[in-house]
Amino acid sequence: MNNITTLENVYQRVDNMFQTCHDSLIPVKDISFDDLDTIKIGGNTHPLKPIAQRSIAWRLGIPYNYLRKCPPEIQSVQMNYWIEHEKNEQLFARFDGNSVRAIFTPKYKPVDNMDVILEIYGMGYRPETQVQCHLDEEFMSLSVMDGEKVLEINGDRFRPGVSISNSEVGLASLSVSAFILRLICTNGMVSKTELSASYRHVSTKILNEFPEILDKVSVELGRQRHQIGLSMESPVDDPMKTIESFNRQFGLNEDERKAVEWAWPQEAGSNMFAVVNSYTRAAQFEGLSAESSYKLQRVGGNVLGMLN
Q: In this structure, which long-range contacts are made by residues 95-99, counting pairs with CB atoms below 8 Å and at least 24 apart in sequence? A: 95/21, 95/22, 95/23, 95/24, 95/46, 96/20, 96/21, 96/49, 96/137, 97/20, 98/46, 98/47, 99/46, 99/47, 99/48, 99/49, 99/52
pTM value > 0.85: no
User: Given pLDDT bands bounded at 50, 70 and 90, which one contains residue 216?
Assistant: low
User: Which one has a higher pLDDT value, 100 or 187?
Assistant: 100
Q: Encode pLDDT of 156-203 as tens digits.
A: 777 777 888 899 999 888 888 777 777 666 666 666 544 444 555 544
**pLDDT above 50: residue 283:** yes
Least confident of 140-149, 215-224, 237-246, 266-275: 215-224
pLDDT value, residue 193: 47
How many CA atoms does the CB half-sphere of 164 hold within 13 Å?
21
Secondary structure element (H or E) that encloses residue 73, with its range = helix 72-83
Q: Angle 141-142-147 (CA atoms, 0-180°, nearest 5)?
A: 155
